[in-house]
Amino acid sequence: MDDDHDYDGGMDDMDNNEEELQEEEMENFEEDAGDGEDRVEILNEGEKQPNANRITTRYMTKYERARVLGTRALQISMNAPVMVDIQGETDPLKIAMKELAERKIPIIIRRYLPDGSYEDWSIDELIIE
């Protein structure tokens, strides 16, 4: 019965093995790291991707389109300056659609990446279908 209280499930052995494996991996990593150019650029969380290194698509998604149109229509309804000739149009959503078609909406789309960094795209850089 006394032996039952001392049994730890073998967890101590696993902890030691994991630590040894991690140390070996770090040694191997340090040896491999010095063999050439750096191919990976590490960005801090919340850091902007440089425009030349963008990895997301150039196409505006339907979700981005909906959000941009809704946001811009709200701005127009609150008397924001209109960037296109409205020709008697009064519906803010239609005015926003016209601005989008002419790529004159003054909004930047920020796309967050899984690593915490982000990419900023202006409307005129995106392909709208």
Q: Is residue 66 part of a domain?
A: yes
Q: Is the pLDDT of residue 103 over 90?
A: yes
Position 91 in a domain: yes
Instruction: List Cα–Cα distances, 90 to 43, 85, 99, 106, 109, in angstroms.
Output: 45, 12, 13, 19, 26
- Does residue 38 belong to any structural domain of this protein? no
Can you give the residue range of the structural domain that contains 85?
Answer: 51-125
Residue 1 lies in a domain: no
Higher confidence at residue 5 or residue 82? 82
Q: Is the pLDDT of residue 38 over 80?
A: no
> pLDDT confidence of 49, banded at 50, 70, 90?
confident
Q: Is residue 29 part of a domain?
A: no
Report yes or no on 96 lying in a domain: yes
Number of domains in the chain: 1
Kindly indicate the confidence band of residue 75, based on its pLDDT and cuts at 50, 70 and 90: very high
Dihedral sign of CA atoms 47, 53, 55, 56 in order? positive
Read off the pLDDT band of 32 (50, 70, 90).
Answer: low
- Is residue 103 a part of any domain in this protein? yes
Residue 12 lies in a domain: no
- Hey, what's the torsion of the CAs at 68, 72, 73, 79, to 10 degrees? 170
| CATH code (residue 102) | 3.90.940.10
- Model confidence at 51, pLDDT cuts 50, 70, 90, reads confident
